[in-house]
Amino acid sequence: MREIALHILDLLQNAVEAGAGRVTLTIDEDAALDRLTIVVADDGRGMDAETIRRALDPFYTTRTTRHVGLGLPLMRAAAERADG
């Protein structure tokens, strides 16, 4: 759970860096279904269609300071390890 929490913090920071003025984090626990739903939403500049298509590719990033974009792929892997 700690790893997922760190990924959530990364998403929140990225939202602020993307110009978001409002960022919301919603965590919903459904004990009956043994499910935790996490939603991060913001009003930042968003992603174009190409970026959305490639967002989970670890070798794709829009940043110019590095050549990999591991945030979303690693979050996805952590969620999958938790049966998400």
pLDDT (tens digit per residue) in 4-24: 999 999 999 989 988 999 999
- Mean pLDDT across the chain, nearest whole number? 89
Q: Please check whether residue 75 is in contact with residue 55, taking contact to mean a CB–CB distance below 8 angstroms.
A: no
Residues forming beta bridges with residue 27, ordered by sequence position = 38
Look at residue 67 in the predicted model and tell me its pLDDT. Answer: 58
Q: What is the pLDDT of residues 45-62, one digit of tens each?
A: 888 999 999 988 888 887
- Does domain 2-81 bear CATH number 1.10.760.10? no
Question: Quick one: tokens of 81?
Answer: 């390890």
Mean pLDDT of 33-54: 92
Instruction: Give percent of the chain above pLDDT 70.
Output: 95
Q: Which residue has the tokens 């999958």?
A: 80
